């Protein structure tokens, strides 16, 4: 197949991890006989420095014209002044909104060999296989916000707003995905306090009535945060609003062992999607060549699965990642505590994964 993939490396470790994922996709193309055309554009702080805006029109146009977009990360201390007029994160939020990507799929399936990396006891991790479906283009991220001065005192507010339609489409997707999995949806909200959560819960119940083969439970976000740590295997599909999903997925990442391992797919109505690791630009390790590229490489696998419908190719990448981990390769974030084993750089980890990919039967 021929496909056009836009790469948006972004800031910090973004370019380091996207480089490895691109090379993995190139190996997939060679082995499976596809032609992927890559074009690269700036986003985030890199784009602010070059163009004064976090996402230039031609970059957005290239994304719109592509089959899929693979992004590294945006942001960093250089662009974090609270009074800044333009912010790197605006590029990413604008891209999600402009492409209509209202659902963000964040799977978490711990790899048994990495149980040591998680602060949880291994028996708590047994059987964990969850998928968070995070609403991505509504809620606090996109509601009206104000920062001003009233009667000489500073004030600021953000607004958490959802319409019935926005809730119903993402909850429906969660139910459809649950059907292909263990058939259970947990809808997470704050319905004891928030009006928007009470609407969310009502719609979840209505969507649930149209999917009687899928079990639905509801949980308040605070106790759900605890259940993620105490009983993570009790979840199958979680569906939740934008900000709750952002926070809960960084928490869930530690079930896998590191933020650097976790991929995501952002989808809307059509096949075109945006794929990115769930982590950020990691300013503390940027430029050192030690970032874990697996979250981005597994995001590339999700790109093949969801946007290009190349399931065998996606599985080949997932197999290669699992085999690489099983062989003992470790970046610093997943190195066994106290181990004297050599720690792999970002580039070495990518190369090991490509070696295994080269051995996959086609």
State both tokens at 54: 């976090």
Provide DSSP, 39-67: EE---THHHHHHHSSSS-HHHHHHHHTSS
* 299: contact with ligand NAD by CB under 6 A: no
The region of 192-200, 218-226, 291-299, 301-309 touching ligand NAD under the rule CB under 6 A is 291-299
Local structure of 157: helix, strand or coil = strand
* 221: contact with ligand IPM by CB under 6 A: no
Length of the chain: 362
* Among 11, 67, 189, 190, the one annotated catalytic: 190
Question: 């896998």: which residue's tokens?
Answer: 256
337 in a known ligand binding site:
no
Residue 264 near residue 104 (C-beta atoms within 8 A): yes
Q: Which one among 89, 113, 161, 251 touches ligand IPM, defined by CB under 6 A? A: 89
62 in a known ligand binding site:
no
Provide DSSP, 129-147: -EEEEEE-SSGGGTS-EEE
State both tokens at 350: 């990518």
2 in a known ligand binding site:
no
Q: Annotated catalytic, 57? A: no
The region of 68-76, 115-123, 129-137, 314-322 touching ligand NAD under the rule CB under 6 A is 68-76
Give dist(CA 160, CA 168) in Å, integer.
Answer: 16
* 245: contact with ligand NAD by CB under 6 A: no
250 in a known ligand binding site:
yes
Which one of ligand IPM, Mn ion, ligand NAD, none is in contact with 15 (Cβ closer than 5 to 8 A by kind)?
A: none
* 26: contact with ligand NAD by CB under 6 A: no
Residue 73 or 228: the one with the smaller Cβ distance to ligand NAD is 73
Residue 75 or 350: the one with the smaller Cβ distance to ligand IPM is 75
Helices (H), the chain: 14-32, 45-51, 57-64, 88-98, 122-125, 164-179, 195-209, 221-230, 242-256, 294-306, 311-326, 346-359
Q: How far is the CB of 339 from ligand IPM (least distance, A)?
A: 30
Contacting ligand IPM within 226-255 (CB under 6 A): 246
Q: Which one among 55, 95, 267, 285 touches ligand NAD, defined by CB under 6 A? A: 285
Residue 15 or 295: the one with the smaller Cβ distance to ligand NAD is 295
Q: CB atoms < 10 A from the CB of 201, how many?
A: 19
Closest to 305 in 3D by CA, of 131, 76, 135 = 131
Going by the annotation, the residues of the binding site for Mg(2+) are: 222, 246, 250
Query: Which positions touch Mn ion (CB under 5 A)?
Result: 246
Q: Point out which residues bind ligand NAD (CB under 6 A).
A: 13, 17, 73-76, 89, 92, 259-260, 276, 279-285, 291-292, 295, 333
The residues assigned a catalytic role are: 141, 190, 222, 246, 250
């Amino acid at each position: 197949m021929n496909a056009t993939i836009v790469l948006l490396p972004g800031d910090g470790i973004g370019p380091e991890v996207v480089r490895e994922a691109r090379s993995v996709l190139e190996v997939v193309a060679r082995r499976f006989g596809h032609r992927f055309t890559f074009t690269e554009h700036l986003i985030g702080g890199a784009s602010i420095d070059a163009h004064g805006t976090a996402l230039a029109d031609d970059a957005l146009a290239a994304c719109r014209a592509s089959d899929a977009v693979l992004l590294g990360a945006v942001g960093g201390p250089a662009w974090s002044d609270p009074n800044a007029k333009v912010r790197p994160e605006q590029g990413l939020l604008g891209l999600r909104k402009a492409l209509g990507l209202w659902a963000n799929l964040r799977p978490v399936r711990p790899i048994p060999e990495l149980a040591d990396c998680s602060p949880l006891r291994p028996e708590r991790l047994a059987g964990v296989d969850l998928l968070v479906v995070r609403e991505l283009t509504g809620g606090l991220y996109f509601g009206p916000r104000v920062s001003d001065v009233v009667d000489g005192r500073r004030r600021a507010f953000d607004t958490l707003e959802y319409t019935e339609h926005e809730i119903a489409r993402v909850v429906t997707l969660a139910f459809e995905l649950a059907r292909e999995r263990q058939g259970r949806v947990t809808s997470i909200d704050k319905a004891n306090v928030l009006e928007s959560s009470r609407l969310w819960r009502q719609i979840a119940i209505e969507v649930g009535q149209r999917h009687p083969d899928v079990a639905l439970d509801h949980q308040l976000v605070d106790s759900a945060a605890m259940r993620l740590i105490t009983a993570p295997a009790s979840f199958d599909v979680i569906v939740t609003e934008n900000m709750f999903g952002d926070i809960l997925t960084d928490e869930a990442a530690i079930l896998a062992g590191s933020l650097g391992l976790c991929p995501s797919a952002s989808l809307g109505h059509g096949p075109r999607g945006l794929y990115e690791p769930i982590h950020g630009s990691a300013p503390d390790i940027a430029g050192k060549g030690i970032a874990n590229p697996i979250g981005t490489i597994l995001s590339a696998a999700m790109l093949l699965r969801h946007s290009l419908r190349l399931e065998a190719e996606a599985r080949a990448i997932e197999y290669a990642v699992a085999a690489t981990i099983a062989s003992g390769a470790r970046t610093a974030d997943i190195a066994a505590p106290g181990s004297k084993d050599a720690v792999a750089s970002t580039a070495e980890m990518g190369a090991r994964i490509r070696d295994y990919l080269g051995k996959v039967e086609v």
